[in-house]
Amino acid sequence: MVNKNKKQKQPSYIESLRLPVWVIIIGLIFWFYIVAKNYYSIHPVAWPFRDISSLITIISDFVLVLIKDIIIILMFASVSVIAYRIGQQIIKWLNLQISGLEYIIFCIGTGLSIIIFLMFGLGVLGLLYRMPFQIGLVICLAISIWKIKLPSLKNDIPEKLDFGWWFLIGIITLFVLLNIGMVFMPEIFYDSLVYHLACPNFYLIHHKIMPMEFLMHSNIPSNMQMLYLLAITLKDEILAKMFHFGTGLFIMLLVYSTCKNIFSTKTGIISAAIFYSIPMVAMNSWTCGNDIGLSFFFTLAFCSFLNWLHKKNNGFLFLSAFFSGMTLGAKYTGIFPVIGLGIAVATVLFINEPFWKATKKIIIWGLVVFALVAPWLIKNYVFTGNPVQPFLYKTFGGQNMKIDGGGKGVATFPLKIFNFNVKEFILFPWRNTIEGNDSQSYMGALLLFMLPLLVLPKKVDSKIKYSLVCFIAAYVFWFLGAPVYRHLLASLVCLAIVVGWATTAVSAFIPFIKWIVSAVCITNLLALYSIAFSMTRFYKPFGGNETKDEFLSKTKPTYPNPPYSVILWLNKNIPADSKVLFVGESKSYYMQRDFISYSVETNLQPLMEFLKASKDANAFRTLLQEKRVTHFLINYREAVRVNSSYKTFYWTESERKIFDEFWKKYIKFEYFDEGVYLYSVLPVGSQNNPKEACLNILEELEKKNWANNSLLMVFTENKMWDSVIDEYETYLYYGYDVKKQLEYLYQLRGQKSTGVPGLRNENK
């Protein structure tokens, strides 16, 4: 229930620092110089706007996009209100004393957890239909709004702060605006298109949670994917992106409110700023990934832990276990922060309680965590026979996984525990923070700048000590497991709060520290805007003018060789009961027809496996019929790109002969664009006239060893002028001067028919 008591007295700052202030200032200036010199030589600061008019255009575009897509914001708000009312009942049942903004976020997090399991249950029962969900949203919203009561937020509003603190709040607000702007960019994140969105979309097509035999990622814990399933059932992937962005926003607000209530307002502001300004946090907020969502559930668990230490209410201990289970149910890598928190909980219990009583509580804590992730383990066992698919594949088996064939997935990732290096362990944070530059590793320099402040306070709050235990334990297990910074993201919440507390304490003696925080945040913001602009310069709200279909049809630096234009065509033109086999392509989201896809980095390719199971071309065709495959979608550009790294075409010569015979007899061309071809399988009893047979482009690429220029060579040698033009138009899109070549090809095509079966004849 809401705590209606008077405003709690804020804890005082520490009594003193370990060193004289003048010594600390000299030391910090030296440290700041070293960090800045190394970091900004790799990440130079640049003003990203050409002139004031471009900035005005971007702002106006941003406002117009928000107005145009206000329905997305309203639907996100509606789900949040419903989640709040659900969570409100559970928080009340637990008799937890929480107030204000912190109470609201805890209620929303609890309610979203219940909604996740509701979606899972409806998916298992085969009740995934758009119209009932949309009607249900309206009904549930009406019930939730009826007699709704929100706690007062008066105590959450910062008071008696000087301009420097408000300036920092303003900068973080700009991060929020940048991130929400990126929500409305079409989804191009590879992981989202291959599984984070593709799996929920597959379930929605079937109206049921179904096995995806060749997509290992469909068998990882999927709490966030259930929220995405809700989003695309109600609307589309932009609403799903709004959910992921929203969890990041909730993290920032929860860190602020919890730290404000337990430590001080300034600690809340700096801790929230440290975490939310990390470029990696923003970049992951722009996508339908699961790392920010995982971090949200862990933040709820960690803040429950802090409240347990602060208020001595065991209801918070239960809540920390509950949200730890939700963390682990979002992704296997949630094991790192959950282990860290578990060790911190055990440390507190063994220090303060008798051994057997502490042991009993730890066991109960662990059982609650396990109970929350158990539904996903049961699903995995039912679908694959391996409850922890893809791990322990040597014991339980790994369904259609690349194990001995060069797989590069998480299950075959070499653990650091087997090649531990003390020097690398110590220097890893420095090196990877300085060099990190993408969504996997871009940390920014703020934590590195402020890290020395941890040792300066003479008297350290016990809650900060236990928070540090939580982070260090998580860091050690993370480093010994799979040390990719993105997998440490949730644990950075602990570090942000610890560093935020220390920074606030030191700033009481050295006020300019908060300006250093603001300055570094600004550099992160400018860097993030430049990245956002490079990703979206052809699309609003960042000054572009492409439509969604145009944007998604063209290759981008982080969006290679998209199949979107062909998927768009087949959604409109092939029968509703069709089933498409993906070849050389994994990005299956946006499909509205049944499909078989795979992950190039972790899974065996279904085409290769179907050929291995067939003794001849007729047997292969019979197998496709059993699988109900009616069409092939082949992305030749992508096949050339990935085959050199992942060896996705691992067929034998005899299997190639089977495929070649089948191809020439039973395949009909339908459509192509951007290097992606759609073919149909001829009906039973039909086969091609030899003169009408489609060229087996895969075989031609194999003969050329999948060289980078092999596709253009195949098209040219076989006089496939439409396809040659398609390749050159892509070069032109990238800015290459190929106008003369295109003019010649246009003339050539106008003078001569393509003469090759399997090509569309319309001019482009």
Other CB atoms within 10 A of residue 120 CB: 20
Mean pLDDT of the 469-484 span:
91
**Separation of alpha carbons 166 and 723, rounded Å:** 58
Give me the pLDDT at residue 522, please.
Answer: 96
Nearest to 758 by CA among 694, 679, 699: 694
Q: Does the bond joining 541 to the residue before it have cis omega, within 30 degrees of 0? A: yes
pLDDT in tens, 89-137: 999 998 888 999 999 999 999 999 999 999 999 999 999 999 999 999 9
- Percent of the chain scoring above 90 in pLDDT: 69
Q: Residue 758: is its pLDDT beyond 50?
A: no
Give me the pLDDT at residue 542, please.
Answer: 63
Between 391 and 142, residue with greater pLDDT: 142
Q: What angle do CA 402, 404, 406 make, to 5 degrees?
A: 65
Give me the pLDDT at residue 345, please.
Answer: 97
Confidence of residue 415 (pLDDT cuts 50, 70, 90): low
Q: Residue 404: is its pLDDT beyond 80?
A: no
Give me the pLDDT at residue 419, please.
Answer: 67
- Say which DSSP state 584 is in: S
Other CB atoms within 10 A of residue 703 CB: 11
Give me the pLDDT at residue 6, please.
Answer: 44
User: Counting Cβ atoms within 10 Å, is residue 22 exposed (0-12), middle (13-18) or buried (19+)?
Assistant: exposed
Give me the pLDDT at residue 494, please.
Answer: 97
Q: Residue 713: is its pLDDT beyond 50?
A: yes
Between 261 and 3, residue with greater pLDDT: 261
Mean pLDDT of the 475-486 span:
87
Give me the pLDDT at residue 418, please.
Answer: 59
At 499, is the secondary structure helix, strand, or coil?
helix
Give me the pLDDT at residue 15, please.
Answer: 56
Mean pLDDT of the chain: 89
pLDDT in tens, 315-335: 999 999 999 999 999 999 999
Q: And the tokens for 217?
A: 């990622």
pTM (2 d.p.): 0.92
At 669, is the secondary structure helix, strand, or coil?
strand
**Separation of alpha carbons 551 and 568, rounded Å:** 13
- Say which DSSP state 80 is in: H
Each residue of 193-226: b (16+ CB within 10 Å) or e? bbbbbbbbbbbbeebebbebbbbbbbbbbbbbbb
Q: Which residues contact 532 (CB under 8 A, 6 or more apart)?
A: 178, 181, 182, 286, 542
Give me the pLDDT at residue 423, please.
Answer: 80
Mean pLDDT of the 40-62 span:
79
Q: Which residues contact 712 (CB under 8 A, 6 or more apart)?
A: 724, 727
Give me the pLDDT at residue 277, please.
Answer: 96
Give me the pLDDT at residue 3, please.
Answer: 44
- Percent of the chain scoring above 70 in pLDDT: 93
Mean pLDDT of the 608-623 span:
95
Q: Residue 763: is its pLDDT beyond 60?
A: no
Confidence of residue 618 (pLDDT cuts 50, 70, 90): very high
- Alpha-carbon Rg for the chain in angstroms: 28
Q: Which residues contact 374 (CB under 8 A, 6 or more apart)?
A: none
- Say which DSSP state 290 is in: S
Give me the pLDDT at residue 51, please.
Answer: 66
Give me the pLDDT at residue 9, please.
Answer: 45
Q: Residue 160: is its pLDDT beyond 60?
A: yes
Work out whether strand 676-681 and strand 667-673 pair parallel, antiparallel, or are unpaired.
Answer: antiparallel
Confidence of residue 702 (pLDDT cuts 50, 70, 90): very high
Nearest to 559 by CA among 160, 300, 144, 186: 186
Q: Residue 751: is its pLDDT beyond 60?
A: no
Nearest to 513 by CA among 103, 17, 65: 17
Give me the pLDDT at residue 398, please.
Answer: 74
Q: Which residue has the tokens 């709704």?
A: 148
Beta bridge partners of 401: 603
Distance from CA of residue 103 to its chain's centroid? 27
The mean-pLDDT minimum among 48-57, 189-198, 239-248 falls in 48-57
Q: Residue 705: is its pLDDT beyond 60?
A: yes
